[in-house]
Amino acid sequence: KNEVEQSPQNLTAQEGEFITINCSYSVGISALHWLQQHPGGGIVSLFMLSSGKKKHGRLIATINIQEKHSSLHITASHPRDSAVYICAVTGNQFYFGTGTSLTVIP
């Protein structure tokens, strides 16, 4: 069993839809990260959070420490949001989810 599980693995949405990607983890953590990997391979860090909620533009990340769960929301999705979204946690070690591949269709 992986320490970090993401769902869904693949997601296709129509432009404008509200998108939610989920991340559950089973280890104690000091922080949770959401990363975005573009088709070319480059990775960008979107959020680092240890409690509550953070918002950046159309992206919102939430975390529930008690339930060991985080969600990444994208409002008014756009084709340029198409990417792989990776959840990672840092505790005693680094643990990564296998990613959610998002395709937004115009």
How far apart, in Å, are the Cα atoms of 39 and each of 65, 92, 99?
Answer: 31, 30, 13
43 lies in the binding site for other proteins (CB under 8 A): yes
**Residue 41, SS3?**
coil
Binding segment for other proteins (CB under 8 A), chosen from 13-21, 54-62, 64-72, 82-90, is 82-90
| Contact criterion met (CB below 8 Å) for 49 and 32 | yes
Which listed residue (3, 17, 48, 54) binds other proteins by CB under 8 A? 48
Alpha-carbon span 98 to 84, nearest angstrom: 9
What are the tokens at 42?
């480059």
57 lies in the binding site for other proteins (CB under 8 A): no
| Contact criterion met (CB below 8 Å) for 8 and 98 | no
94 lies in the binding site for other proteins (CB under 8 A): yes
Minimum CB distance to other proteins, residue 29 (Å): 9
54 lies in the binding site for other proteins (CB under 8 A): no
Which listed residue (77, 97, 102, 104) binds other proteins by CB under 8 A? 97
Which listed residue (51, 64, 75, 98) binds other proteins by CB under 8 A? 98
